[in-house]
Amino acid sequence: MGKSATKDSDVARSTITAPKLAAKWRKLAEARCAAANERLTPARLAAYAELLASKRPVSAYELIALMEDRQQRKIAPLTVYRHLDFLTRVGLVHRLESTHSYLPCDHPEHAHESQYLLCSSCGHADEVESKPLESILNKIADQRGFQPENTVVEIKGLCASCATSDSD
């Protein structure tokens, strides 16, 4: 904890360039961090803004490249992994298991389970929050005395716009 905190604050605010973050997302980020009793450092916020600016889920290495490109300096991969862990932990970002990539949450105002529709053509990811599906899966597990720890529902295929352009 001590070390990463020092590192974040060592980097002066002015040296961190990040995509512009809409007030709505900044407020949500601040609220999630406050609820988790965590500090939203400029470096963490920069990683979050970069994920939001990207129109599709990105891997940790893609995120490092994007941030290095924008900030014109080398960034230690471990630092970015820590930011991703943090953002995932407070619920601002979801990790897609099947593609090892990260997606900013559509509605981070409350904790939730999500399911995802992943387009294998354009890379678009659609986050859905289906309570009925969640309760069916929990029921199935429960009937077998199984205690779920991590439920992953990721459907790969073609999004609506790729599906229509394919059939043209």
Phi, psi of 115 (to 5 degrees): -120, 155
From the CB of 158, what's the least distance to Zn ion, in Å? 6
**Of residues 46, 49, 66, 105, which one binds Zn ion by CB under 5 A?**
105
**Which 107-166 positions form the footprint of Zn ion (CB under 5 A)?**
114, 119, 121-122, 124, 159, 162
Q: Choose one: 2-10, 58-66, 101-109, 146-154; the region binding Zn ion (CB under 5 A).
A: 101-109
Nearer to Zn ion, 49 or 119 (CB): 119
Residue closer to Zn ion by CB (options 64, 159) is 159
Q: Which is nearer to Zn ion, 43 or 119 (CB)?
A: 119
Q: In the complex, what is the shortest distance from the CB of residue 32 to Zn ion, in angstroms, rounded to a whole number? A: 11
> Which two three-digit tokens encode residue 156?
């790969």
DSSP 88-144: HHTTSEEEETTTTEEEE-S-TTS----EEEEETTT--EEEE--HHHHHHHHHHHHHT
Instruction: Give the count of residues interacting with Zn ion (CB under 5 A).
Output: 8
Q: How far is the CB of 112 from Zn ion (least distance, A)?
A: 6
The residues facing 127 across adjacent strands are 116
84 by Cβ neighbours in 10 Å (0-12 / 13-18 / 19+) ranks as: buried
Residue of 134, 130, 129, 83 lying closest to 107 (CA atoms): 129
Structure token pair of residue 149 = 């720890």
* Binding footprint of Zn ion on the chain (CB under 5 A): 105, 114, 119, 121-122, 124, 159, 162
